[in-house]
Structure 1
């Protein structure tokens, strides 16, 4: 691996649980916390928001919805969503999502609804 680039196979990264389901996170350390990319399989997503991170979702497979500040939006392959800090959100349905987080994902940056 070079200090000027990194290469991963997202579907070979170990899965970890997150507030949206099961995720495979890449480049958190390699980007020195500047950004991360995730392969997310939505499962029982919990409404939450981030204080700092902006997230970009691109639906790769499946059908469902993405709820943003209480408004549900249809989600299907190639639907894209920009989720800014403070926006309460969750994904609903059987979705596979490519997620980019700026800065990199940090579990301490999540707040959950009561």
Structure 2
């Protein structure tokens, strides 16, 4: 019988390179298709969007900016929360750490990069 819960120690999970910087992927689609929970250190991410996943960013530390859609720039400081719906191009830059929650859990084939022309 499968357990109805997941417990992980984020200090024991190795960070991985990602298009945003470095990410500690604590809860992923392997754990549940419902949600992911990552702690991501963002420096200069590539503009991208997701077709299925809504993302929530909770800024933990540092400062930066987030570009949403075309040229909507918002300042990011600790305590700011940003919700990004599917289909919205976005990117973060600066030097900040955020909790990133994806609903449903983001899968690798649901990340599409915007090409500048």
TM-score after normalising by structure 1: 0.91
Q: Give distance in 2, aligned partners of 1:49 and 1:94.
A: 20
| Gaps in structure 1 of 5+ consecutive residues | none
1:15: Cα distance to partner? 1.1
Q: Give distance in 2, aligned partners of 1:62 and 1:101.
A: 21
Q: Does 1:109 align with 2:110?
A: yes
TM-score after normalising by structure 2: 0.89
Alignment partner, residue 36 of structure 1:
36
1:4: Cα distance to partner? 1.6
1:27: Cα distance to partner? 2.1
1:106: Cα distance to partner? 1.1
Q: Give distance in 1, aligned partners of 2:39 and 2:10.
A: 7
Q: Does 1:54 align with 2:54?
A: yes
- Tell me the secondary structure at the aligned position of residue 44 of structure 2: coil
Alignment partner, residue 65 of structure 1:
65
1:96: Cα distance to partner? 0.3
Deviations 1:7-60 (A, max 9, x none): 1122321111222111111222222x2111000000321000001100000000
Q: RMSD in angstroms over aligned alpha carbons?
A: 1.3
Q: Does 1:92 align with 2:88?
A: no
Aligned residues: 112
Q: Does 1:78 align with 2:89?
A: no
